[in-house]
Amino acid sequence: MNQLSRRGFISTTAGVAGLALAGCDSGSDSPKAASKVTSANRTGAMDKFGVGDQFKATTPLTFSIMLLSNSNYPYKADWLFWSELTKRTNVTLQPTVIPGSDYNQKRSVMVSAGNAPTLIPKTYHPDEEAYIAGGSILPVSDYLDLMPNFKDKVAKWNLQGDLDQLRESDGKFYLLPGLHEDVWKDYSLAIRTDILQQLNLQVPQTWDDLTTVLRAMKKAYPDKYPFSDRWSTPPQPGANNLLALVGEANGVWAGWSYQHANWDPTAGKFVYTGATDQYKQMIAYLNTLVSEKLLDPESFTQSDDQARQKFADGKSFVISANAQELVNHYRKDVAKISGATVVKIPVPTGPIGAAKFGSRLENGMMISSKAKDGKDFVALMQFIDWLWYSDDGLMFARWGVEGTTYNGKVDDGTFKLAPDVTWAGVNPGGKKNLQVDYGFFNGVFAYGGSTKLLNTQFPPEELAFQDVMNSRKALPLPPPAPLSPDDREQATLWQTSLKDFVNQQTLKFILGQRPLSQWDAYLSELKAHNSDQYISLVNKAYQDFKKNHG
């Protein structure tokens, strides 16, 4: 479930405004390459394809695609999605079906063997970097001129800074990511509200409030740890969500979003995350919780099931959560305790205030480099642009066909799933499942989009959470500092030992096995693990990129 780490969120030091550098446009997406596209590549393409246009190939076309078959809704050839897609676009997709359990492995073999289908979706940055040297994937940034909807969304939502995070040292990017209008937050803490009421406490707004609440709980139930956490899968230090949340509140990425390099906007350079004062603040905060016996020390080592069990048995009152876990598990788990109620609270705020940061990019799609020599290359890019980036395409992939699977409009708030269609607990009596029977809301096709579109999928309770989170200001991302392939290899070596060391010491400091007074000793040990060399490598990459592509 370590979703955040997979998304490869980019580290940044938050807090201070004035990140003018992050805004600087390094998007030198040259139209030169796109002009290499000749009339020989225009089979089936539309002459005029712009924002809001329905894409329809002028001749029937077939594109091959790698299709992740999700075990929750395994691939079916007779999904309405396929037939309706062909009807609307004149394009037939020919899937190579891959079980989701081992998708990455087969993708790797097929791409390396030169056998990959044209479209290779469900790729998380930086996975695409492994294939760049082999030349088997297309530098998509060269062909954005063929994608009006993509460009429109990037401009409208000001995503240039996010996109820069994908760039390689050659200034190009090789992955077409999903685009979100706003940073989407899902993970937070779940808390037993009946205990809050019983003790006359308010829902904590800040992390310091949380300490107060936990102290009051401890006073009332001295034999219990009020907070026992989960998501401690290695290799991170443990309680990975908690660390990520507290880290973010302090302006540093920790836990499962840990990044080695942190942008320091005042100094205008990267610094090593594990050596920052913000990281120390985070450790100090958690150390207080542990030493006052408010936070179960097992939080950092126990399995998810053990943590859930403690929460279910009323042995703890606070636990990490996301919307799914809350509804599918915690509510059901505590049902046996009479009067128990659980909510997911808005993420408590910390020293950096009501702000959030994170990338607005989703996993994305690689395109086989063979495609650009194909006769239908332009049509292919137009097709991708329509299905993954146009408003109509996003709506279609997510909710299907108006009048069949849904009714109403997203914009005026009248959107509603058709009464006989069930999805994720909506219309539980519905005979047909949107994903299983119709093939919509498939993770391969449906992601990203406007906040309004995203909100259509939430129940009222989650919407309230989203409203709070959306009102927080998104901080700018750090400038790009892509390493060259050689440097990347060296950096990976250093990262591995650095990460082990930081994880180990983080845990020791938090659990009180090492006093915080030894922080300076820790810093010099960190240097012995090459943190300085690593950071100068990153800073050099940052300077080089600024010079060449800035």
Partner 1 sequence: MAMAKMPAVKLRAAKTPAVKRENSRGYRTFQIFNALILTGVVVVTLYPFATIVAQSFSSDTAINAGHVNVVPHGFNLTTYKKVMSDSAFWTNYRNTVLYTVVATAISMVLTTCYAYVLSKRHLKGRKFLIGVALFTMFFNGGLIPNYVLVADLGLRNSIWAIVLPNAVSVFNLLVMKAFFENMPDELEEAAAVDGLSTYGTLGRIVLPLSKAVLATMVLFYAVSFWNSWFSAFLYMDRSDLFPVTVYLRNLIAGATGGADQGTASDTALQIGANIQSVTIVLTVIPILTVYPFIQRYFVSGVMLGAVKG
Exposure letters 83-122 (e unless 16+ CB within 10 A, then b): ebbbebbbbebebbebebeebeeebeebbeeeebbbbbbb
Instruction: Work out how close the CB of 263 gets to partner 1 at its nearest, in angstroms, rounded to a whole number.
Output: 23
Angstrom distance (rounded) from CA 250 to CA 259: 14
CB count within 10 Å of CB 354 equals: 14
Kindly identify the residues of this chain, within the stretch 389-418, that bind partner 1 according to CB under 8 A: 398
CB 237 within 8 A of CB 503: yes
Residue closer to partner 1, measured from CB, 77 or 267: 77
Choosing from 54, 58, 59, 115, the residue that interacts with partner 1 (CB under 8 A) is: 115
- Binding flag, residue 68, partner 1 (CB under 8 A): yes
Instruction: Work out how close the CB of 465 gets to partner 1 at its nearest, in angstroms, rounded to a whole number.
Output: 15
Instruction: Work out how close the CB of 56 gets to partner 1 at its nearest, in angstroms, rounded to a whole number.
Output: 26
CB 288 within 8 A of CB 212: no
- Binding flag, residue 484, partner 1 (CB under 8 A): no
- Binding flag, residue 106, partner 1 (CB under 8 A): yes
Instruction: Work out how close the CB of 186 gets to partner 1 at its nearest, in angstroms, rounded to a whole number.
Output: 7
Q: Where are the alpha helices (DSSP H) in 275-418?
A: 277-291, 304-312, 323-325, 331-334, 377-384, 391-399
**Interacting span for partner 1 (CB under 8 A) from 65-73, 276-284, 364-372, 399-407:** 65-73
Sign of the C-alpha dihedral computed for residues 109, 111, 115 and 121 taken in this order: positive
- Binding flag, residue 102, partner 1 (CB under 8 A): yes
Terminal C-alpha separation, the chain: 37
- Binding flag, residue 100, partner 1 (CB under 8 A): yes
- Binding flag, residue 427, partner 1 (CB under 8 A): no
**φ, ψ for residue 426 (rounded to 5)?**
-80, 140
Tokens matching residue 281? 């603040």
Kindly identify the residues of this chain, within the stretch 435-464, that bind partner 1 according to CB under 8 A: 441, 443, 446-449, 454, 457
Query: Which residues partner with 423 through β-bridges?
Result: 426
Choosing from 35, 38, 39, 71, the residue that interacts with partner 1 (CB under 8 A) is: 71
- Binding flag, residue 363, partner 1 (CB under 8 A): yes
**φ, ψ for residue 193 (rounded to 5)?**
-70, -25
- Backbone angle region of 137, left / alpha / beta, with phi > 0 → left and psi within -120 to 50 → alpha: beta
Sign of the C-alpha dihedral computed for residues 147, 148, 149 and 151 taken in this order: positive
Angstrom distance (rounded) from CA 38 to CA 354: 50
Angstrom distance (rounded) from CA 550 to CA 546: 4
Residue closer to partner 1, measured from CB, 433 or 530: 433
- Binding flag, residue 303, partner 1 (CB under 8 A): no
Tokens matching residue 170? 């050659």
Kindly identify the residues of this chain, within the stretch 159-188, that bind partner 1 according to CB under 8 A: 178, 184, 186
Tokens matching residue 531? 């943190």
Instruction: Work out how close the CB of 44 gets to partner 1 at its nearest, in angstroms, rounded to a whole number.
Output: 24
CB 49 within 8 A of CB 55: yes
Choosing from 30, 58, 59, 101, the residue that interacts with partner 1 (CB under 8 A) is: 101
CB 29 within 8 A of CB 144: yes
Instruction: Work out how close the CB of 5 gets to partner 1 at its nearest, in angstroms, rounded to a whole number.
Output: 9
| Interface pattern 340-359 for partner 1 (x via CB under 8 A) | --------------------
- Binding flag, residue 75, partner 1 (CB under 8 A): yes
Residue closer to partner 1, measured from CB, 297 or 449: 449
Compute the residue count for the chain: 550
- Binding flag, residue 113, partner 1 (CB under 8 A): yes
- Binding flag, residue 377, partner 1 (CB under 8 A): no
CA dihedral 16, 455, 120, 549 (to 10 degrees): -30
Instruction: Work out how close the CB of 334 gets to partner 1 at its nearest, in angstroms, rounded to a whole number.
Output: 11
Strands 355-356 and 473-474: parallel
CB count within 10 Å of CB 508 equals: 16
**Interacting span for partner 1 (CB under 8 A) from 107-115, 240-248, 281-289, 375-383:** 107-115
Angstrom distance (rounded) from CA 42 to CA 48: 12
| Interface pattern 248-287 for partner 1 (x via CB under 8 A) | ----------------------------------------
Choosing from 46, 91, 217, 312, the residue that interacts with partner 1 (CB under 8 A) is: 312
Strands 261-264 and 269-272: antiparallel
* Binding footprint of partner 1, residue count (CB under 8 A): 54
- Binding flag, residue 74, partner 1 (CB under 8 A): yes
Residue type, 326: L
Residue closer to partner 1, measured from CB, 122 or 192: 122
Residue closer to partner 1, measured from CB, 95 or 479: 95
Angstrom distance (rounded) from CA 130 to CA 59: 35
- Binding flag, residue 29, partner 1 (CB under 8 A): no
Instruction: Work out how close the CB of 108 gets to partner 1 at its nearest, in angstroms, rounded to a whole number.
Output: 9
Residue closer to partner 1, measured from CB, 145 or 182: 182
Residue closer to partner 1, measured from CB, 3 or 492: 3
- Binding flag, residue 56, partner 1 (CB under 8 A): no
Choosing from 128, 229, 296, 333, the residue that interacts with partner 1 (CB under 8 A) is: 333
Q: Where are the alpha helices (DSSP H) in 18-99?
A: 20-23, 31-35, 80-89
Residue closer to partner 1, measured from CB, 17 or 426: 426
Tokens 């600087």 correspond to what residue?
24
Residue closer to partner 1, measured from CB, 369 or 484: 369
CB count within 10 Å of CB 74 equals: 12
Tokens matching residue 273? 């995350």
- Binding flag, residue 467, partner 1 (CB under 8 A): no
Interaction site with partner 1 (CB under 8 A) = 1, 3, 6-7, 68-72, 74-76, 96-104, 106, 109-110, 112-115, 122, 124, 178, 184, 186, 305, 309, 312, 324, 328-329, 332-333, 362-363, 398, 423-424, 441, 443, 446-449, 454, 457
